[in-house]
């Protein structure tokens, strides 16, 4: 048996104005009964409708709602695949029930399957008529975020949502995400999380986001402490293991990072996120054989899943490139594109073609760059076309006029859909584009420097490489080393062989020009240790060999 007690209290005097209780075995019937009793006591039955039931606001079937609640419990723990099973059962019982569609859409979005996510969010919106105002408002926010990419509208709505529903922890969580990601002060985001944790002290979402914010400020001890709390609360959830592993990876403690993955795989042997992260950590440890073992596990469990096999081929490409097998990597790129096409997800397909085009920028294959950039352009949506414009002008400035039209369209959309405080991103990328077209290296450096050091969370390894390599090429050796060494020995360590080994090359160049002969030799030797016998000898390999001869003499 269950009992629900409710009381209405005057917070100024502490006086109890009314109290009601209900007893029974069905939580949904109890909720309706309690609602009727309170309405009767307050004489407001007519305000909520003469016979409106709690479950009828969201689903006409309490069994469907029960399955949804089960799925939501797993969703909150980060057991995403398992939650989808419950949400689908809810849909089988009541196909007009909007909320399970919304949650499935969120799961697919979190897992990087954006096309599927959009489809389910669209299905949820089609069924949103019976939702209460609160749930409909939340769905509208998520639709603006992931279905329509109207980030500015979503930000306005989430602020209103938190004001209207201050005790809803989910709304506060996404408001904190906005504050963090949109370049606001970190303490404002943490304040929202603190309030959220007062509502739900064991919230995995709140503790994990707090850890992410602390890590972004290099407060790793605080970040680890938060995620360890999550792990103690939810030992069967894969998320704290993955998050701890990622934190230890950022701290360059690869043994601890791998230990978390091994613990996860003990309780969940076919967890694909764990297997993929294990492979990346083994690459960082330069244990390529172990990384290949991880990938074989992935293939064993998921050979019929094109989304996961797309990740498999992506990692196979990295392993081939680490060993200088550039032509073999091309074979894996073709397989990656085949899997991407099987996903029928435009974002994944665009990313595969775009990555292939950028890969060919490293070689003297201009026709291939254009071919695959055009393919990516066919599938690109909204801001994805920015990469198309930048790739073409990096290849050849003769494309500037053609690419400029694409750039203007993308940046116009960006400014319409994004909050004004992140418009500077568009301005900086515009400077990169025109700096490239006008052969103005200093302008490009200034744009990347401002972007990297802005409060907009753009201090990532790709920006650090672009900035550091340009600085070295421009003769700003000491300044360039600061950014490049963050990739090779600092907090921006990457498993990407092209980014890492080209950063090593530029460090060698800078050290040689600064007269640090032993440091220069050490870096060129490291580069040639992996690329000493390449299938294609790129210009940087040839130059490294030449410089090694100069240093030897």
Q: What is the pLDDT of residues 234-264, one digit of tens each?
A: 999 999 999 999 999 999 999 999 999 999 9
Structure tokens that stand for 332 in this block: 């894996």
Residue 43: what pLDDT? Answer: 41
- Those residues whose C-beta lies under 8 Å from the C-beta of residue 207, and which sit 6 or more positions away, are 197, 226, 227, 229, 230
- For residue 185, what pLDDT band results from cuts at 50, 70 and 90? confident
Residue 56: what pLDDT? Answer: 45
Residue 155's closest CA among 125, 183, 190, 182? 182
Q: pLDDT, tens digit, for every residue of 411-431?
A: 999 999 988 888 888 999 999
Which helix H or strand E contains 371, and what residues bound it? helix 366-379
Residue 456: what pLDDT? Answer: 72
Cβ-based neighbour number of residue 25 at 10 Å:
8
> Domains in the chain: how many in total?
1
Question: Per-residue pLDDT for 2 more than 70?
Answer: no
Structure tokens that stand for 307 in this block: 């989304």
Cβ-based neighbour number of residue 183 at 10 Å:
17
Find where tokens 């390894």 sit. Answer: 461
Question: Per-residue pLDDT for 457 more than 70?
Answer: no
Q: Which residues of 244-260 are buried (b: 16+ CB within 10 A; e: fewer)?
A: bbbbbbbbeebebbbbb
25: containing domain: 2-53
Q: pLDDT, tens digit, for every residue of 334-368?
A: 999 999 999 999 999 999 999 999 999 999 899 99
Residue 22: what pLDDT? Answer: 55
Mean pLDDT, the chain, integer: 90
Q: pLDDT, tens digit, for every residue of 297-344?
A: 999 999 999 999 999 999 999 999 999 999 999 999 999 999 999 999
Longest dimension (CA), the chain: 97
- For residue 61, what pLDDT band results from cuts at 50, 70 and 90? confident
CB 473 within 8 A of CB 458: no
Residue 455: what pLDDT? Answer: 73
Residue 9 lies in a domain: yes
Residue 10 lies in a domain: yes
Residue 54: what pLDDT? Answer: 47
Find the range with the poorest average confidence among 19-23, 97-101, 465-469.
19-23
- For residue 270, what pLDDT band results from cuts at 50, 70 and 90? very high
DSSP classification of residue 23:
E
Question: Per-residue pLDDT for 17 more than 80?
Answer: no
Average pLDDT over residues 503-526: 97
Residue 27 lies in a domain: yes
Average pLDDT over residues 455-482: 92
User: What percent of the chain clears pLDDT 70, i.e. is strictly above it?
Assistant: 89
Q: Which residues of 429-448 are buried (b: 16+ CB within 10 A; e: fewer)?
A: bbbbbbbbbeeebeebbbbb
Residue 443: what pLDDT? Answer: 97
Q: pLDDT, tens digit, for every residue of 121-159?
A: 999 999 999 899 999 999 999 999 999 999 999 999 999
Residue 405 lies in a domain: no
CA atoms within 13 A on the CB side of 418: 20
Q: pLDDT, tens digit, for every residue of 361-393?
A: 999 899 999 999 999 999 998 889 999 999 999
Distance CA 230, CA 193 (A): 14
Residue 34 lies in a domain: yes
Average pLDDT over residues 523-552: 96
Residue 5: what pLDDT? Answer: 58
CB 120 within 8 A of CB 108: yes
Residue 445 lies in a domain: no
CB 2 within 8 A of CB 31: no
Category of 501 on φ-ψ map: left (φ > 0), alpha (ψ -120 to 50) or beta: alpha
Distance CA 334, CA 351 (A): 13
- Those residues whose C-beta lies under 8 Å from the C-beta of residue 428, and which sit 6 or more positions away, are 447, 448, 450, 451, 454
CB 39 within 8 A of CB 45: yes
Residue 47 lies in a domain: yes
- For residue 458, what pLDDT band results from cuts at 50, 70 and 90? confident
Residue 39 lies in a domain: yes
Residue 49: what pLDDT? Answer: 39
3-state secondary structure of 375: helix
pTM of the model: 0.85
Q: What is the CA radius of gyration of the chain?
A: 27
Q: Report how far Cα 413 is from the mean position of its chain's Cα atoms.
A: 21
Residue 365: what pLDDT? Answer: 94
CA atoms within 13 A on the CB side of 380: 22
- Those residues whose C-beta lies under 8 Å from the C-beta of residue 203, and which sit 6 or more positions away, are 169, 173, 196, 197
User: What percent of the chain clears pLDDT 90, i.e. is strictly above it?
Assistant: 80
Find where tokens 């100024």 sit. Answer: 12
């Amino acid at each position: 048996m269950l009992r629900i007690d409710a009381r209405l209290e005057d917070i100024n005097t502490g006086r109890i104005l009314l109290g009601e209780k209900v007893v029974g075995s069905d939580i949904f019937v109890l909720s309706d009964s309690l609602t009727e009793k309170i309405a009767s006591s307050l004489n407001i039955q007519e305000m909520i409708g003469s016979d409106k039931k709690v479950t009828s606001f969201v689903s006409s079937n309490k069994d469907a709602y029960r399955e949804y609640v089960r799925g939501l419990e797993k969703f909150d723990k980060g057991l995403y695949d398992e939650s989808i099973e419950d949400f689908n059962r809810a849909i089988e019982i009541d196909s007009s029930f909007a909320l399970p569609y919304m949650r499935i859409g969120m799961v697919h979005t979190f897992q990087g399957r954006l096309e599927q996510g959009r489809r389910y969010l669209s299905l949820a919106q089609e069924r949103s008529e019976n939702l209460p105002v609160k749930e409909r408002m939340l769905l509208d926010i998520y639709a603006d975020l992931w279905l329509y990419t109207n980030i500015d509208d979503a930000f306005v709505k989430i602020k209103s949502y938190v004001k209207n529903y201050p005790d809803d922890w989910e709304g506060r969580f996404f408001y904190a995400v906005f504050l963090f990601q949109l370049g606001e002060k970190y303490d404002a985001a943490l304040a929202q999380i603190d309030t959220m944790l007062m509502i739900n002290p064991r919230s995995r979402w709140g503790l994990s986001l707090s850890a992410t914010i602390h890590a972004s400020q290099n407060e790793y001890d605080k970040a680890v402490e938060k995620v360890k709390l999550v792990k103690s609360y939810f030992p069967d959830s894969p998320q704290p293991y993955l998050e701890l592993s990622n934190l230890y990876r950022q701290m360059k403690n690869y043994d601890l990072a791998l230990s978390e993955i091994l613990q996860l795989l003990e309780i969940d042997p076919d967890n694909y996120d764990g297997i993929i992260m294990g492979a990346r950590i083994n690459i960082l440890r330069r244990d390529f054989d172990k990384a290949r073992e991880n990938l074989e596990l992935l293939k064993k469990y998921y050979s019929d899943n094109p989304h996961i096999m797309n990740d498999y081929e992506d990692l196979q490409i990295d392993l081939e490139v680490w060993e200088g097998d550039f032509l073999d990597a091309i074979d894996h790129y073709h397989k990656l594109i085949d899997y991407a096409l099987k996903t029928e997800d435009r974002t994944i397909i665009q990313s595969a073609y775009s990555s292939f085009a950028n890969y060919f920028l490293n070689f003297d294959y201009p026709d291939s760059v254009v071919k695959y950039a055009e393919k990516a352009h066919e599938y690109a949506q909204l801001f994805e076309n920015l990469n198309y414009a930048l790739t073409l002008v990096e290849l050849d400035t003769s494309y500037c006029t053609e690419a400029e039209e694409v750039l203007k369209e993308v940046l116009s959309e960006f400014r319409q859909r994004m909050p004004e405080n992140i418009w500077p991103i568009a301005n900086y990328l515009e400077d990169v584009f025109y700096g490239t077209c006008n052969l103005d290296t200093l302008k490009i450096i200034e744009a990347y420097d401002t972007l990297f050091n802005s409060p907009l969370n753009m201090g990532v390894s790709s920006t650090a490489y672009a900035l550091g390599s340009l600085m070295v090429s421009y003769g700003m050796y000491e300044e360039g080393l600061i950014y490049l060494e963050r990739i090779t020995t600092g907090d921006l360590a990457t498993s990407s062989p092209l980014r890492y080994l080209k950063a090593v090359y530029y460090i060698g160049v800078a050290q040689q020009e600064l007269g640090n002969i032993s440091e220069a030799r050490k870096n060129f030797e490291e580069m040639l240790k992996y690329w000493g016998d390449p299938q294609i000898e790129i210009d940087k390999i040839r130059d490294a060999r030449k410089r090694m001869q100069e240093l030897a003499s």
